[in-house]
Amino acid sequence: MIASLGSEQPDVRRAAFDALATAYWKAVFKYVRLKWNATADEAADLTQSFFLRAYEKAYFAGFDPERGRFRTYLRTCLDRFVAKVRQEHGRLKRGGAIEFVPFDFAEAESELQRQHTGDAVQELDAFFHREWLRSLFGLAVDRLRVACETGGHARRFTIFERYDLGDDESARPTYAVLASELAISVTDVTNELAAARREFRRVVLDVLREQCASDEEFEHEARALGSSRDL
């Protein structure tokens, strides 16, 4: 995806940019809200304008994978962009007729209100990383859902969703409860959940690979993702 951002072919470049925006817009919006203390409306405008300007001015063409992560580079571009806009007293240059993937800012704002962002202002690096991770996993879950449904494994996704995606730990069903609800054996629940998790990991790798500029960056990111959680 990152490599395609500099493509000579407009279709390829545009598709890559859409994918990039899909992966990052929510993290960008929330980051601008917190780091730059922007109102919801201002953050929405800044997010929209940032992606627009990045597309028009080919911000990301200067990214060198040898010098660091793309995510860090994007955030540096974003900070510079917002600082410049603020310097110009918030005058945003509206773009032409380019429409990206839809950004549901109302939903993003509602999410932000539900999140505990007390420490986020002190730990903006960690916050941005976590929001990116949330977006990465969100995309992977969406793809897994589609793959399960089209592959005739809707039940597999249901089990995964009930067991792994729930918010309330106390309401997490046991294997026996899931087996009873779905009229299958506990062994089937175990097997389906294991298969869904395997597939989820594979899809996460696919999405991550698309978001990295080089094999080296992908390997680095994947290893970091697999080792950054304490036991």
Partner 1 sequence: MISDRALDRLHGLIAVPDLSGTRYQLVSTLGRGGMATVYLARDTTLDREVALKVVDWTVDESSASRLAQEARILASLEHPGIVPVHDFGQLADGRLFYAMKRVRGVRLDRWAATRDVHERLGAFLRICDAVAFAHAHGVVHRDLKPENVMVGEFGEVLVLDWGIARVRGQSESSGLVAGTPDYMAPEQVRGERTVDERADVYALGTMLAGLAGPGERHKALLAITAKATSPDALDRYSSVDALRTDVSRFMAGLAVGAHHESVSDRLFRVVHRHRLAIALVLAYLAMRLLLLSVFQI
Cα 189 to chain center, whole Å?
A: 29
Tell me the residue length of the chain.
231
CB 189 within 8 A of CB 179: yes
**Does 201 sit near partner 1 (CB under 8 A)?**
yes
Query: What would the x/- binding string for partner 1 be over residues 87 to 126, using CB under 8 A?
Result: --------------------x---x--xxx----------
Distance CA 111, CA 117 (A): 11
Closest distance between partner 1 and the C-beta of residue 77, in Å? Answer: 25
d(CA 156, CA 175): 13
Helices (H), ranges, the chain: 10-35, 40-56, 70-87, 105-114, 124-150, 154-164, 175-182, 186-211, 215-227
Q: Contact between 130 and partner 1 (CB under 8 A)?
A: yes
Candidate list 36, 72, 100, 137; residue touching partner 1; CB under 8 A: 137
Residues 38-77 close enough to bind partner 1 by CB under 8 A: none
| Binds partner 1 by CB under 8 A, chosen from 49, 72, 158, 190 | 190
Question: Is residue 143 near partner 1 by the rule CB under 8 A?
Answer: no
- Residue of the chain from 88, 164, 181, 216 that contacts partner 1 (CB under 8 A): 164
- Name the one range near partner 1 by CB under 8 A: 15-23, 82-90, 118-126, 129-137: 129-137
Q: Are 103 and 25 in contact (CB under 8 A)?
A: yes
Residue with tokens 């001015």: 57
For partner 1, the binding residues (CB under 8 A) are 107, 111, 114-116, 130, 133-134, 137-138, 141, 164-169, 190, 194, 197-198, 200-201, 204-205, 219, 222-223, 225-229, 231
